[in-house]
Amino acid sequence: MGLPRFTCPKGRDDESSPHLYVANCGPAVGLSYEIIASVFGTYGEVKGVYSADESGTRVIVSFQEKGSAQCALKELNGKPCSSLGGRSLHIQYSVQSLNKINSTESVPVATSASDLNIPGLFLIQDFITAKEEEELLSAVDCGPWKHLAKRRVQHYGYEFCYGIRNVNTNQYLGELPDFVSQILERVRSFQTLDGAIDVSLDQLTVNEYPPGVGLSPHIDTHSAFEGSIFSLSLAGPCIMEFRKYTTSTWQGKPTTSGDNEDQISQENLDFVRKSIYLPPRSILLLSGESRYAWHHYIPHHKVDKVKDSLIRRGSRRVSFTLRKVRKGPCRCEFPQYCDSQK
């Protein structure tokens, strides 16, 4: 069952609510939900502590009684709390929505693709060496970066156009750079892939993610790229979540793609969620069902919880996404997610 959803506070001062929106508090600043519940529990019974958003720095504290919320707000708002590392909390009342969704609930994080049981998904760790990683980072740092809202990108072969969520096949940028030639050779020698995989890749997007910056849920546009997408992680780790929406909730929704920051609303859509840890120097392959029918998503966290460990993301994460540009319409077996077949 999904976790309760709360409305965003907009200057609300509703003392009838037992729910508090607490800023400057959460896993990203080193405070576990258990510690937060213990501190707030001195003012009354705490029903639960929930993530307020994906930042990891804001939580919802839900009390059993509204009087407990009133006491906690009065005693803790704007004041340093020694039990929470001396942090000054910023607290407002919050109101629970009648709708419930499961998008804020954390899911177990796997460390191998086989644990997820998503057809067509593969992960190979230590795909490159630390020295090769350093050389790849040095090569892209010598090139020109294009600035998006929250990160920088570079395109090779063909440019991905975020406005149309596709590539312009009439604007060929040239062969892929020499610094990825070893990666391409290694990809072609994969022996662990099921079925025939087309690895004649001709498009590269390099993304640089600052700490805490992720990627909205999306499926790479079917008509833009063929069925094999490779993503090499460099410099820093992250987790990637996969979501498969039910046909009934997805009908009529647009197929999203790539890197548009303005994605569809996830509210009231039923979906299955699975998550995997991507360490530096690993490569992920999306093919078949995992490529065509599952949205992939990088949470906007500075700290990821993997099994029983909290792993802080590095000062940067750089990904190399290698794809083959599609020259005709997509004829995949997942028409409900396919822009070519709608």
- Give the three-state DSSP class for 284: strand
Cα–Cα dist 247/337, whole Å = 9
Element (H, E) at 296: strand 295-298
For domain 109-337, which CATH number applies: 3.90.1010.10, 1.10.357.10, 2.60.40.10, 2.60.120.590? 2.60.120.590
d(CA 26, CA 84): 10
Element (H, E) at 139: helix 130-141
- The pLDDT value given to residue 190: 67
Nearest-angstrom CA–CA distance, 154 and 143? 8
Backbone angles phi, psi at 292, to 5 degrees: -90, -25
| Residue in 61, 56, 83, 80 with CA at minimum distance from that of residue 71 | 61
Global pTM reads 0.67
Class of domain 4-100: alpha beta
Distance, CA of 19 to CA of 107 (rounded, Å): 23
Taking the C-alpha atoms of residue 188 and residue 191, their distance in angstroms, rounded to an integer, is: 9
Every domain of the chain and the residues it spans: 4-100, 109-337
Alpha carbon 114 to its chain centroid, in Å, reads 20
Cβ atoms of 228 and 274 within 8 Å: the answer is no
Q: Name 137's Cβ contacts closer than 8 Å, sequence gap at least 6.
A: 234, 235, 318
- pLDDT confidence of residue 14: 58
Find the angle CA(121)-CA(125)-CA(126) to the nearest 5 degrees. 145
Chain segment 272-296, per-residue pLDDT in tens: 999 999 999 999 999 999 999 999 9
Whole-number Å distance between alpha carbons of 327 and 219: 18
Rounded CA separation 91/40 (Å): 12
262, burial (CB in 10 Å: exposed 0-12, middle 13-18, buried 19+): exposed
Which of 9, 23, 89 is CA-nearest to residue 56? Answer: 23
What residues in the chain have per-residue pLDDT under 50?
A: 1-3, 9-12, 98-104, 196, 248-268
Instruction: Give the CA-trace dihedral at 272, 278, 283, 284, to 10 degrees.
Output: 0
CB distance 52 to 59 below 8 Å: yes
Measured CA to CA, the distance from residue 34 to residue 38 in angstroms comes to 6
pLDDT of residue 145: 96
